[in-house]
Structure 1
Amino acid sequence: MVEQLRRRKKRKWVLDWIRRRDQLGASARLMRELAEEDPKGYRNIMRMAEVKFEELLEMVSPLIRKKDTVMREALSAKTKLEIALRYLSAGESLKSLQYLFRVPHNTISTFLPEVLGAIFEVLQPYIKVPPSTDEWKAIQKAFECRWNFPNCCGALDGKHIQIMRPKNSASLFFNYKGTYSIILFAMVDADYCFRYIDVGRDGRSSDSTVFRNSSLNAAMEQNFLNWPTGGLFVGDDAFPIQPYLLKPYSHRWLSDEERIFNYRLSRARRVAENAFGILAARFRIFCRPINLSVETIDLVVKAACALHNWLRVTSTTYYLPQGSLDMEDPTSGEPVLGAWRQEPTAMLPVDRLYSSNNYKRDGEEVRKRYARAFMTDLAVPWQYAALRKS
């Protein structure tokens, strides 16, 4: 028996083709070639220009760099970051990334949460609720100038991020669409930036908990936001109408005044829809159920949102992926939906939310005032095309 064990071929510590990572892996060859010869191709793979990658690498390196040991050399921070960004941008499996970068998939699964957490940590300052009245006023001015909706401080929306069923979760993450998900709730400014995110509530959660139990809602109700008098948010029909949150009229046989209000509100609230569209078009990981632990999926969402904001704020050549935005027909006012909505596993809307009767009555009064104003002193010439829709 001892002789048989001795004759057995010893298992290799590292496979030969993985050993050649520093010479032939994507980080050593392909990424370098693209950076030098095909900047557009590099941006397509990393979802950012090389100069932005280097900037990000400098920020996250202290958090993800490891020391070499006597047993082996540590994986470089550069390779780790490239793998994490490629995972977000393409949604590839870890085994696919294993062969591209010559890094074992179990090694990737170990460092991926660390890298995603580091990205969110260094870029988290780019996702912040405005701390001052002046910043809220700047957002209001942008909504009024670009989307013709005065006093709007942000557009609210919630989406299901589809996931593979977690082990031993029973029906915890099972949502109304028959899939498994966590929820991303966000407040978006006029430039498609996420100013607040709430990530990780399970897809089975009661709809009344998503907005009502968010820290943003608590801050609004306790008047901690330092926003201007008359400031408000806009949302779709899933949200409760409140004095500081307007939603469209949803009953049948709308009057012209109500239809105009819905049209004007939709122009402002689609900013949030389109922010999710940009996110899904840029980071294709959101176009299929994510097969990671729930804790790591939370980091995926947070890192992607932070990268989105950082690139929009700091890149002079930031581009919008084709099909990531809803457009508007200039003659009829009809929305032309972005191609991202056709993805079968793209982000799904969150269902109806809770509303109290007192807030509902006060919110109705605010909505009526806006509806009247949009027919008089706040009217815009092209809005009447909305009345001609069948």
Structure 2
Amino acid sequence: MNEEQRLLFAIAATYLRRKRKRRSVWIHGTIRARSQHGEYHRLVQELRLDEVRFQQYFRLDRTQFDVLLRRVGPLIAKENTNYRRAISPGERLAICLRFLATGDSYRTIAFSYRVGHSTVAGIVAEVAKAIWDSLVEEYMPVPTTEDWREIAAEFYHRWNFPNCVGSIDGKHVVIQAPNNSGSLFYNYKGTYSIVLLAVVDAKYCFRIIDVGSYGKSSDGGTLANSPFGNALRRVTLGLPEDTLLPGAEHLGPQPYVFVADEAFPLRRDLMRPFPGTTLPSRHRVFNYRLSRARLTVENAFGILAAQWRMYRRVIGISPSNAETCVKATCVLHNFLRRTTRAVSYVGDGEASGLHDISQVGSNNAAREAMRVRETLVNYFSAEGAVPWQPQA
């Protein structure tokens, strides 16, 4: 660079510096008063005196909030600087939980807590990841062979479906259309979404989740492209060996299976209902018994959306941050299910009538998968029958 070029560069740099808008204040007055008037320092501290309202505000009671804070605190703590005092781990956790519980915009939460909206964006992403990292090993570990056996025992005890190790379904999480994404996130419902694929046990807890598939993907396609689907195809999930159905030794050992709706393929280890509306009685009974067991995943999604209202809104953040928040709510769901004293199991007990199964196209199911399904049909019509299943 010669002398003339250096001079032109210096002139241009000086011009740009002068043109750049200067901050009127380093910290806005409303933010400076956070410790006196911010929602965490006023309202939240008052709510600690009222257990019910505290739980309504955060979806966690005081004990659960404090336990969670002890877990994530070391991961989200920041150091004070010469310029400003760091936001405490408790306040950072409160901001994140409030976003998950309401789905309010970053700017709305920023005004309530008297912080910058960009600060809220950073806090939500960081704390949601910390929640997942700190809870997943205890509250959503990869099931072992013994875990699969325990899940199957619970399904048989609560839902009268033997050898069932989980209920599978996908949920579209509506997000704001990402820039330059085309139709990748556009789903059949006419919204933009990422997909939450979940395996749920008999107690409505998430055992395996896969988050982030494009909204345009079908449930079957999402399963096929997920790590869980790959493990299912490669027989590396650690499922127990085939075992006898209760009271039906003559049928021989049968595989452990997942249950799903008609959007998923029929496999030896994945049962779906019979297609069609005009079915023999035996097939209708099978569809009812399968649908009854499959309701666990539907109920889990309903509980999840009722607790964390971000699912009731269009999530206006990037797909990657939305994925992080979804994972955080799923592991928090398990945390709450296992640490709340009184938990009700929707759907336990006798059911009334057969569930209507919508008509679907035929599939190329393997003979072995069809044999397993037919064996379950025979079982539900004989040794495994329950008193209320003939009701139409």
Separation in 2, partners of 1:193, 1:231: 19
Equivalent runs, 1:181-330 vs 2, <5 Å: 181-205=193-217, 208-228=220-240, 229=242, 230-317=255-342, 327=347
Separation in 2, partners of 1:318, 1:105: 36
Q: 1:9 to 1:150 in 2, by over 3 A?
A: closer
Q: Match for residue 129 of structure 1?
A: 142
Which residue of 318, 332, 339 maps to 2:352? 332
Separation in 1, partners of 2:88, 2:291: 47
Q: CA deviation at 1:142?
A: 0.2
Contact residue 40 and residue 113 of structure 2 kept, 8 A: yes
Q: CA deviation at 1:102?
A: 1.2
Contact residue 156 and residue 162 of structure 2 kept, 8 A: yes
Q: 1:330 to 1:150 in 2, by over 3 A?
A: closer
1:384 aligns to 2:390 (yes or no)? yes
1:374 aligns to 2:364 (yes or no)? no
Contact residue 194 and residue 309 of structure 1 kept, 8 A: yes
Q: CA deviation at 1:183?
A: 0.7
Q: CA deviation at 1:223?
A: 2.2
Partner SS, residue 341 of structure 2: coil
1:139 aligns to 2:145 (yes or no)? no
Q: Which runs of 5+ in 2 are unaligned?
A: 1-17, 243-254
Q: Match for residue 23 of structure 1?
A: 36
Separation in 1, partners of 2:29, 2:71: 33
Q: CA deviation at 1:313?
A: 1.8
Q: Which has the larger radius of gyration?
A: 2
Separation in 2, partners of 1:80, 1:27: 9
1:222 aligned partner, one-letter code: R
Q: Which runs of 5+ in 1 are unaligned?
A: 336-351
Separation in 2, partners of 1:261, 1:243: 16
Separation in 1, partners of 2:25, 2:161: 65
Q: CA deviation at 1:17?
A: 2.0
Q: 1:113 to 1:353 in 2, by over 3 A?
A: farther
Q: Summarize deviations over 1:136-161 as a string: whole Å, max 9, x none.
A: 11111100000000000000001111
Q: CA deviation at 1:50?
A: 0.7
RMSD (Å) for aligned C-alpha atoms: 2.3
Separation in 2, partners of 1:51, 1:354: 52
Identify which range, 86-95 or 144-153, moves more after superposition. Answer: 86-95
- TM-score of the two chains, using structure 2 as the length reference: 0.86
Separation in 2, partners of 1:286, 1:74: 30
Q: CA deviation at 1:330?
A: 5.2
Q: CA deviation at 1:328?
A: 8.2
State the identity %: 42
Separation in 2, partners of 1:353, 1:59: 49
Q: 1:9 to 1:250 in 2, by over 3 A?
A: closer
1:277 aligned partner, one-letter code: G
Partner SS, residue 190 of structure 1: coil
Separation in 2, partners of 1:45, 1:256: 49
Separation in 1, partners of 2:193, 2:362: 20
Separation in 2, partners of 1:314, 1:53: 11
